[in-house]
Each structure stands twice: as C-alpha cells, then as structure tokens.
Amino acid sequence: MPQNQARWDSALPSQKILFVSGKGGVGKSLIAAGIARQQAHAGRRVLLVEIGDNSYYRDFFGLERLDYQPQATELGFDLAMWSGETSLKDYVLYYLKIERVFRLFFENKVMRALINVAPGLNEISILGKITSGVRKIGPPLPYDLVVVDCYATGHALALFQAPRGILEAIGIGPMGTQSREIESVLKDPKVCGYAVVTLLEEMPVAETLEFRAELRRILGVEPAVIANKVMPVPVERAELETLTAADPGGLGEFAKYLSAIEDRQKQYLGKLSREFEAVGQVPLVFSNDPKELVAATGEALRQV
C-alpha cells in the first residue's frame, strides 16, 4: 500500500489526476508508467491505473495478478486495473453495504445484459472511480496523484464524452448528479491534466492534433504532448554528408538513413511546436528489462 510520503501544496486540491492517451502503438503505457515512477521518486504518493478488461502491465511487469485493489511495485508507485464492471460494483457496494443484495441484483442474467449494453455506463463507472477521491465519493483513495493509462485516442474521447451523453439522456436523479460532478472534475485544470503521446511520424502526429482539437471541444482543456522514441543523431549533418559521399555503398547508406531520420523528426517536431506551447521528448531506450525501461523513461520525463 502507499508509502508515507510528502503531500502536494495544501493550497491545491488534495489529489491530482493525469490521463495519458495516444494512438495505439506509440508507447503511452510506458510513458504513463514513467510519469508514475518519476512522480513517486519526487516524493508523491502515486497510483498508476490501467483501465479496461485487458492488461498490458500484467505481462510487462511479469505479475501473477493485477486487479481492482492497488498493489505496491518496486518502482515506488502502486498499480491497479479498473474495468467498468469492477468500478460499478465498488460504487454500488459502497452504498448497498451488503454484497448479497448486490449479487441478487447485478448477477441476474437480464440485469447483466442491460448493464453491458447501457450506453456510457461502463465509461461513467470508470470515470466515477477515477474521480472518486477528488469528489470524496466511495472508499478512500489516499494518493496525491492518480496516473491513468487511458484508452487510445478514439476510445478515450468516447470516455470523456460519457458524462455529457448521460446528462443529455437523463439529467436528473443520482445518475445525473454523478455525471454532472464527474464532468466538472474533468474540466477543472487544477485537478485534471491530460497528456497525449505520439511518435514523430505522420499518422500519430495527425491523430494527436485531432485528439487535441476534440479534447478542447468536449472539455475545454489543453493537453500536453510527449514525443516518444525520439532517436538521437549524435553526428553533425556535415559529417553525415561527407560520409555519404566518401562511402556510398557502405557506411554511407547508414549515414543516409540517419539523415532521413533527422529530417523526419525535425519536420514533425516543427509541426507539433507550431501547435503546442512545448513538446516533451523521450528518447528511444534500448533495453529488454521493464524496470530499466520505466526508470529511463521516468528520468527523461524529469527533464520535460
């Protein structure tokens, strides 16, 4: 369970939430873990949350289990996995108090079928759990920072639109009240932050810009951007050109390859820099060890 570590400035809300998204395959889960590690080493009590039904971190960290209850990691932060079903169960049990009543109601086949098809219910259940510490709803969530390894960009936008969708469909009663509170938290920059991870390639950058525009429209918030797997080119351009000319069939080919990478990265960094106030960069890390990868990523993020 969480360590007794320093809290954030008491003038700020007692808990912060950071959602990390990005196009599939850009490394958002590694970046989320790196942020969690860096913030934990800065003295904050951090929970890294994986959402959905399929776990990346279970295999990545070689865990025997990863479930709803947070578990400590050797990297200084706690880790949990929250699905729509487990989040809904936690919320309802907190109010019903009696698990057999919950089972009678929610393990009924007809009721389970309705829950599975109810528009936005899984999403609002997950968001309700993520924001529960800030809203002081349900069991205590004793962390300074909750880092959410969110869905990829398209599904993430559907997640963030769920409160508004339910408000427009229902708007009254407990569900309307909860949705209104959740949406208010998501829109509050003093509480919630958003980071979008990209590679310096055409499709990820295009999707990043689309995600930013939609996030502005839905929540009125501005995400930070992190370029992942940036390859350093430790040779001056003039040297690359000299090598290309001197040995066109050997090392020259590798020099041309490095030049092409440098050109591509500069092109897309320039495009992002014109749209974002700052672009965080995390270099490509060569390691097969998960802990080394997370530690190196966290160290790079310390400079961002």
pLDDT in tens, 258-284: 888 888 999 999 999 999 999 999 999
Q: Which two tokens stand for residue 131?
A: 């924001």
Domains annotated on the chain, with CATH: 16-232+277-302 (3.40.50.300)
What pLDDT is recorded for position 98?
Answer: 54
Partner residues linked to 47 by β-bridges: 78, 146
Q: Tell me which residues of the chain have a pLDDT lower than 50.
A: 1-12, 110, 114, 117
Torsion of CA 216, 83, 139, 93, to 10 degrees: 130
What sections of the chain are H helices per DSSP?
Answer: 28-41, 57-60, 84-96, 99-106, 109-117, 121-130, 132-135, 153-169, 173-186, 202-219, 237-246, 251-275, 290-302
DSSP secondary structure letter of residue 225: E
**68 HSE (CA, 13 A, CB side):** 12
pTM score: 0.87
pLDDT in tens, 37-66: 999 999 999 999 999 888 999 999 999 999
Residues 6 or more apart whose Cβ sits within 8 Å of residue 218: 157, 160, 161, 164
Phi then psi dihedrals of residue 10, to 5 deg: -65, -15
What pLDDT is recorded for position 8?
Answer: 33
What pLDDT is recorded for position 101?
Answer: 55
Torsion over CA: 266, 272, 276, 280 (sign) = negative
What pLDDT is recorded for position 100?
Answer: 59
What pLDDT is recorded for position 256?
Answer: 78
